[in-house]
Amino acid sequence: MSALAAFVRWGEAVNHRVGEWVKWLTLATVLICATVVFIRYALQAGLIWLQDLYVWVHGAVFMLGAGYTFMANKHVRVDIYYARLHPTTQAWLDLGSTLVFLFPWIIVLGWYGWPYVVASFELMEPSSQVGGMPGLYILKSVILIFCLLMGLQGLVVIARSILRIAGREALLPPVPTSGS
């Protein structure tokens, strides 16, 4: 059981570090977008690659930050009954829903995403926009990183659930929060 608790600590540390790094990409998105607006309206010019950049960074924020969001329990959830359930019942529900909903979806996304990303790398695919960013294949690889981070957090949820169900909740570390 202590190995499960160690895995929970490690998995959450990974997603926490990624989330703390990714939050800075949100600031980058705002600054890049503001620059695009300034160039367009104040200078009457446009830079397609800069427009691509803020859209790509924005997409990366959502994909790379999903595991962190799931870890911090900030994802969208219909919480009508869940909050009133006993912690053991919540653990069973988390375990079942992760196995039934999250993992099949992650597997399908990874299965179909892999050839898509590989083909993009083989072509060294650039933006479809004339004058756009090179390296679209790098952005597409974020799909697979998303699968890894969400899959890792899914395994952490399973481990946390098993420890709760087994009555070993004292072994569980608190969920990391921003700034810790």
**Diameter over CA atoms, the chain:** 64
Judge whether 18 and 149 are in contact, CB under 8 Å.
yes
Q: Specify the pTM.
A: 0.86
Cβ neighbours around 132 below 10 Å, total: 18
Judge whether 60 and 135 are in contact, CB under 8 Å.
no
pLDDT(159) > 90: yes
Judge whether 143 and 113 are in contact, CB under 8 Å.
yes
Inter-helix orientation angle 48-71/2-41, to 10°: 150
pLDDT of residue 178: 58
Rounded Cα distance between 21 and 102, Å, is: 24
Burial degree of 106 (CB within 10 A; 0-12, 13-18, 19+): buried
- What is the per-residue pLDDT across 116-142, written as a single tens digit (0 to 9) for each? 999 999 999 988 888 888 989 999 999
Instruction: Over range 159-178, report the average pLDDT.
Output: 81
Instruction: Over range 49-71, report the average pLDDT.
Output: 92
